[in-house]
């Protein structure tokens, strides 16, 4: 299939990869709104609950570079298909679990699927949009990922009262199973190379962009998911909101990314700011936003702070991954996977650290100061990123 044929299918492909992003993210954040329930039912601490996120993002992170390499070799559509099946199996097994240890184990399985899918999606987009509207298209894909994460923060408290926590995992698992079938049947096909271009490891590891882009991914994606895991619980504890109201407000930190991530790409495509400038300014704003969230004392202020922070976390997505692929055009899937590995591992680490800070201090303030510090470090690091002229 020639380049023009891929280009002609780009909007159809974007719809399908958007569904992929939505479903995979529903399945790696579906435990977040269940934390208060699981803490009570399983008689565990907040710190222990944070390890649910650690479990899923450990294997999610491990799969980033292998998933990118496999996408370059076998085609991103095939890799995503396998990933969706793994997600479905992992979540259905989680729905059958009755102990803390079982949930942890099945979260490890789920992460293998989400990790494969997310990097396959990142590789899928430039197959159809390469060289044209790429930052915007990556932003749309990223927007659907946060849509799924935000959707579960909003809908799961409503769903919990109807189907219980076991039923929540069954529901999201079935979503993945259904999409696996539809994706395989109807999503546009991607080329298979049969081989992976040799990875120039000295170049990948020695290029400062690799590490600084990884830091910005930690500062935006990593902190946003960590925030999403705890924001509902914070609103319930600090502002005495009921779970449904907390879910409606808390979901904003991720749902705003539906528009924020495409806008980040649009800003770059229209040349209003460079990719580097977007990363600097967005992460600086995010640091302010997290401090603001930690200090809120009423529902209106909380909603505004959460939406502002969510918008700031969303803007960097397209610029981060288009810069990574521009820096390493011979192995773009691996480059995207390398950057996203660190975002995934930060999500593995940040929630339990935040839970520990809350357990020890009795307050969420220090936990959100931690996120602010990470975002500020990413803003400073972005000053050193080398722009790529194509």
Residue (of 150, 185, 183) closest to 28 by Cα position: 150
390 pLDDT band (50/70/90 cuts)?
Answer: low
Neighbouring CB atoms inside 10 A of 355's CB total 24
Element holding 199 (H helix, E strand): none
Mean pLDDT value across residues 203-207 = 87
Q: How far is CA 70 from CA 118, 213, 314, 337, in A?
A: 13, 22, 27, 11
Which range marks the domain in which residue 358 is found? 3-190+202-382
CATH of the domain at 302: 1.20.1250.20
Within a domain: residue 197? no
Total of domains in the chain: 1
Within a domain: residue 390? no
Neighbouring CB atoms inside 10 A of 68's CB total 30
291 pLDDT band (50/70/90 cuts)?
Answer: very high
Higher confidence at residue 104 or residue 3?
Answer: 104
pLDDT digits (tens, 9 = 90+) for 350-388: 888 898 898 888 888 899 999 999 999 999 999 999 987
Q: Judge whether residue 234 has pLDDT over 80.
A: yes
Within a domain: residue 388? no
Cβ-proximal residues to 102 (8 Å cutoff; 6+ apart), any chain: 94
Within a domain: residue 196? no
Helix boundaries (H) for the chain: 3-8, 10-28, 35-42, 46-62, 64-74, 76-96, 100-129, 134-186, 201-206, 208-217, 223-239, 243-250, 252-255, 257-269, 275-295, 299-314, 317-327, 332-361, 365-382
Within a domain: residue 263? yes
198 pLDDT band (50/70/90 cuts)?
Answer: low
User: How many angstroms from the chain centroid is the CA of residue 131?
Assistant: 24
Whole-number Å distance between alpha carbons of 71 and 197: 12
**What is the SS3 assignment for 42?**
helix
Whole-number Å distance between alpha carbons of 325 and 109: 28
Lookup result for tokens 């930190």: 253
Whole-number Å distance between alpha carbons of 203 and 213: 15
* Token pair listed for 320: 């981060």
Residue 198 carries which DSSP code?
Answer: P
First to last CA, the chain: 24
Whole-number Å distance between alpha carbons of 338 and 133: 23
Average pLDDT for the chain: 89
Cβ-proximal residues to 124 (8 Å cutoff; 6+ apart), any chain: 13, 17, 20, 71, 76, 77, 80, 190
Within a domain: residue 387? no
Predicted pLDDT of residue 255: 83
Contact between residue 174 and residue 88 where contact means Cβ atoms under 8 Å apart: yes
Within a domain: residue 389? no
Whole-number Å distance between alpha carbons of 14 and 216: 25
Within a domain: residue 54? yes
Torsion of CA 74, 78, 79, 85, to 10 degrees: -150
Contact between residue 308 and residue 254 where contact means Cβ atoms under 8 Å apart: no
Q: Judge whether residue 51 has pLDDT over 90.
A: no
Predicted pLDDT of residue 321: 86
Predicted pLDDT of residue 50: 81
């Amino acid at each position: 299939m020639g380049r023009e044929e891929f280009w002609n299918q780009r909007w159809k492909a974007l719809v399908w990869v958007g569904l992929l992003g939505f479903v995979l993210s529903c399945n790696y954040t579906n435990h977040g709104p269940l934390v208060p329930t699981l803490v009570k039912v399983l008689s565990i601490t907040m710190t222990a609950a944070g390890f649910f996120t650690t479990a899923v993002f450990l294997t999610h992170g491990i799969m980033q570079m292998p998933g990118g390499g496999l996408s370059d070799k076998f085609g991103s559509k095939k890799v995503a298909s396998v990933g969706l099946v793994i997600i479905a199996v992992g979540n259905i097994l989680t729905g059958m679990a009755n102990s803390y240890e079982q949930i942890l184990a099945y979260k490890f399985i789920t992460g293998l699927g989400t990790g494969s899918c997310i990097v396959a999606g990142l590789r899928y987009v430039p197959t159809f949009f390469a060289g044209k509207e790429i930052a915007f298209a990556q932003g749309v894909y990223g927007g659907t990922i946060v849509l799924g994460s935000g959707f579960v923060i909003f809908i799961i408290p409503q769903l919990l009262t109807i189907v219980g926590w076991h039923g929540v995992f069954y529901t999201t698992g079935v979503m993945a199973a259904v999409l696996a079938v539809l994706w395989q049947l109807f999503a546009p096909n991607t080329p298979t190379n049969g081989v992976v271009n040799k990875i120039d490891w000295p170049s990948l590891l020695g290029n400062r962009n690799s590490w600084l882009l990884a830091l910005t991914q930690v500062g935006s994606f990593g902190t946003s998911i960590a925030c999403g895991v705890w924001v509902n619980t914070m609103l319930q504890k600090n502002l005495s909101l009921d779970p449904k109201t907390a879910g409606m407000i808390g979901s904003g930190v991720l749902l705003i990314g539906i528009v924020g991530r495409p806008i980040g790409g649009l800003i770059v495509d229209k040349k209003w700011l460079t990719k580097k400038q977007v990363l600097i300014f967005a992460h600086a704003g995010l640091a302010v936003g997290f401090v603001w969230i930690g200090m809120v004392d009423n529902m209106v202020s909380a909603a505004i702070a959460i939406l502002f922070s969510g918008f700031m976390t969303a803007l960097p997505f397209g610029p981060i991954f288009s810069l990574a692929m521009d820096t390493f055009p011979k192995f773009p899937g691996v480059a995207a996977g390398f950057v996203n590995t660190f975002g995934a591992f930060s999500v593995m680490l940040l929630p339990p650290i935040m839970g520990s800070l809350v357990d020890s201090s009795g307050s969420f303030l220090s936990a959100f100061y931690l996120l602010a510090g990470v975002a500020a470090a990413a803003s400073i690091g972005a000053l050193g990123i080398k722009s790529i002229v194509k």
